[in-house]
Every structure is written in C-alpha cells, then in structure tokens.
Amino acid sequence: MPVALKENPSRRCLLKAGLGLGAAAITGLRPSLAASDTIMLGGNEVSVISDGNLSLPMNFLLPEQSPEEIEALFKPHGLPTDTASPDCNITLLRQDDRLVLFDAGAGANFQPSAGELMAGLEEAGIDPSDVTDVIFTHAHPDHLWGILDDFDDVLYSEATLWVPQAEWDYWRADDTLAKTPEARKSFVVGAQARLEAIEDQVQMVTPGMEVIPGVEAVDTSGHTPGHTSYMIHGDGESVLVVGDAITNSVISFEKPDWVSGSDQDPQKGIQTRKALLDRLATYQTQLIGFHLPNMGIGHVERAGSAYKFVAG
C-alpha cells in the first residue's frame, strides 16, 4: 500500500515513486493556486485546450451498479443517468523554450465529438511543429490516437514523445491482443499501430523521474498498467496533471470505491484513486483532470467519508 504523504524539504521538486500498489511516498506537494483558466507556476504557464468530449454509456462506466444506485447518485446533480459526456482536456505547458502537450487527444478516428485539439491549437496560434514535447499519461484512444494525422504521419514531427515504460511494454507485448476482451481489441490494435509509428521519437518515462525540468512522473497505475500522472512545479507551487486516475466529477469523488468499467485493473484503480484523492485533499494541491469539468482545473475537498471536486 502507498506510504503516507510527507514533505521532503531537501528535495523540493521530486516525487519519489507515486501512488500505485507498493509505491513509496509522494513528496513535495504544494498548496493549491487561485482559480484561473491559466495557471502560473513561476516561469511556467499552464493552460488547457479542449479536445471535445466523449459519449459513454453509464453501464460501461459503472458495470456493477444497479439503475437505482446510479439514479440516486446522479439525480441530485441534475445529470443524465443513461450516458455520460466527459470533457477531454489537454494540458499545455509553456516553459522557456519548450511548448509541451500532455497527451495528444483522440484524433479523427475515435468518436465524432472528440478530436478538436488541432482546432484549439490553431486558435491559440500554435503550429504542430512548435511543440517540443508530448508527455503521455497512457495509451487509450482519447489520449494517444491524435498523435497521427489523417495520413498516418506523426503530427508533432519535431517533438520528443515521452511514454511511460510500463505502458509501452504492455501495449507492445506480443500477447496483449490475445488477452484483451473482444470489445477492447481495437484499443490494442490502435495503440500498437501508433506506438510503432512514433518509435523513433520516443523517450521512456519511469516513476519518480524528472521528465523535463520541473515536471515529474507519478505512478498512478490501475486505469492502465503504466498509467502515469505528472506534477508540474514552479515558484513553490504545484499542479498535478491527473490523466485518467480520476475520471468523473461525481463517481470518482463521491463513490471512489465503486468499480470503474474504464479501469483495466479495477481493484488497483480503486486503491490508486482513493490514495490520490486523500493526498490531494490533504495538501490542497490543484489538479487538472482530463475528463473533469471546468477544463479539468480544480481541487479536492473532503465531504464526510468521501470527497468533492471544487472547480477552479
């Protein structure tokens, strides 16, 4: 189990190991920042660009819950009980001479309501050739498939592409396709094709490493075998790019011990999610969630024995 979170003044910016099963403590968490669409961390400018949204049936998200339980959870929030339409939020970091994306979005071949990142970059005046780094949380379609254009060429031809080592090893293994349920085999085929296409630009990420200055990898496996979140530090503040370790502003916070149909290892996903929520609430560290509302920006507060997402 994860060790209790502690401060470590001698290593201000190092997150030693992460939140997966058996992981060591997270160190160096900083207080939350004020609400803003753009977060300033010293010389680091962190913003969010939308990649659109997904449409997911509720019985996929919550395969073990009854319709009555689902209605009781969502009705007070005025939300649908049959489908969810989670946002897809791409974090953008401007740092000195670097322009960094966290994940590449869905591209044109996953769901028609997603794949809006390129339009958002164009609106922001960013050409794909300007991007110096793409740092991946994991290799699910809405995070990886947008790395290729309509001609299957790498969109960010000048960028270093950072992929978690455990994620790379899992998706590229010879037996992964055979072991995957039929409904998700397309995920494997799509991931393998894209990882092969980008291989020459890839650098590996391991838990606790400083990927680029001020950006450190946190093991949040469970959603996928190598799922990784990233802590961005600057000027004594921090924000955690969560990825899909926390996926829904109601389910993940109010019922963190419910099985998520999107987690490849549901029990590990639960343990990682609960540990992460506890630590974020304890240290009031701001987060950016890939599928959370308000462009994903907010923080965690305790609500009795559960939690709530507070936007901003």
The first and second tokens of residue 41, run together, are 């961390």
pLDDT at 301: 98
For residues 8 and 283, the answer to whether their CB atoms sit within 8 Å is no
The pLDDT tens digits along the chain (312 residues) read: 232 223 332 223 323 334 443 333 333 344 333 334 789 998 899 999 999 999 999 999 999 999 999 999 999 999 999 999 999 999 999 999 999 999 999 999 999 999 999 999 999 999 999 999 999 999 999 999 999 999 999 999 999 999 999 999 999 999 999 999 999 999 999 999 999 999 999 999 999 999 999 999 999 999 999 999 999 999 999 999 999 999 999 999 999 999 999 999 999 999 999 999 999 999 999 999 999 999 999 999 999 999 999 998
Burial class of residue 210 in the structure, from the number of CB atoms within 10 Å of its CB (0-12 exposed, 13-18 middle, 19+ buried): middle
For residues 223 and 264, the answer to whether their CB atoms sit within 8 Å is yes
Q: Maximum distance among all alpha carbons in the chain?
A: 53
Q: How many whole angstroms separate alpha carbon 217 and alpha carbon 170?
A: 18
Looking at CATH, the fold of the domain delimited by 39-311 is given as: Metallo-beta-lactamase; Chain A (3.60.15)
pLDDT at 37: 75
The domain limits of the chain are 39-311
The string over 53-78, giving b where at least 16 C-beta atoms fall within 10 Å of a residue's C-beta and e elsewhere, is bbebebeebbeebeeeebeebbeeee
